[in-house]
Structure 1
Amino acid sequence: MADITQEEWQERIVNDDNAVILDVRTEEEVEEGFIPKMLNIDIRLGQEFLDEVEKLDKSKNYYIYCRSGARSGQACALMNQMGFETTYNLIGGFMAWEGETAE
């Protein structure tokens, strides 16, 4: 797991053909806006989160965010324990995001 800044995130993701953006916020939070082309799996679902993550391709590079960076950090740690090799945590989360968004 690596904590990366918005700038690092945007630089890496543009050149990463193996990238998956994972939003671990709640449905309500996602309705307020999100980073385009993301996959949403709410980390607060507990076992259901783990079950859904287990279905993902472990060879991909996961760019993970939440509202502030705390839950996404937890998601990165959990996913690393599950065998995912490359996870990036967005420092500051969606609250600090200044890049493109969708609703």
Structure 2
Amino acid sequence: MKKLVLGITSIILMAVSCVNQKQEGVVVASPEAFEQKMQESNVQVLDVRTAGEYAEGHIGDATNVDVLQDDFQDKVANLDKDKPVMVYCKMGGRSAKAAGILKEMGFKDVTDLEGGYSAWKASGK
């Protein structure tokens, strides 16, 4: 019984620490907060879904760079690291990955859309 409790406790602690590490230095914003931040000057909006998903609909003038492609880092290297970067995908998983990569690359202000494009549409945007 002690081993079971210890095992479950360990799994919970690892899960919590992974979530915190993934979001370290990245602001996760609701669709409303994301939309408000988009109004700031010099904001770069990045859609990290596939080209096909992007073609079906996207937010404003977002730039499409698929995070799952090998050249993702090469393409985002052209963005200004000192300007805010706002990222989104379909549901939030790929954008969390992209946000982490951007932070590792030295981008200072990274915002991830909570729930992705699906949440954006569900909120009536």
Runs of 4+ in 1 over 2 A off after TM superposition: none
Q: Aligned partners of 2:101 and 2:37: how far apart in 1?
A: 22
Q: Deviations over 1:15-38 (max 9, x none)?
A: x10201100000111111111111
Structure (1 or 2) with the greater helix fraction? 2
Name the counterpart of 1:12. Answer: 37
Name the counterpart of 2:66. Answer: 42
Mapping of 1:20-35 within 5 angstroms?
20-35=44-59
Name the counterpart of 2:106. Answer: 83
| TM-score scaled by length of structure 2 | 0.74
| TM-score scaled by length of structure 1 | 0.90
Q: Which of 1 and 2 has greater Rg? A: 2
Name the counterpart of 1:61. Answer: 84
Counterpart residue identity of residue 34, structure 2: W
Which 5+ residue runs of structure 1 have no aligned equivalent?
A: none
CA apart distance, 1:45: 0.4
Q: Aligned partners of 1:31 and 1:37: how far apart in 2?
A: 12
Q: Deviations over 1:71-98 (max 9, x none)?
A: 0011111000000001100001011113
Structure (1 or 2) with the greater strand fraction? 1
CA apart distance, 1:56: 1.3
Which 5+ residue runs of structure 2 have no aligned equivalent?
A: 1-25
Q: How many residues align?
A: 97
Q: Aligned partners of 1:94 and 1:20: how far apart in 2?
A: 16
User: Which one has more relative contact order, counting CA pairs under 8 Å at least 6 apart?
Assistant: 1
Name the counterpart of 2:119. Answer: 96
Q: CA RMSD in A?
A: 0.9
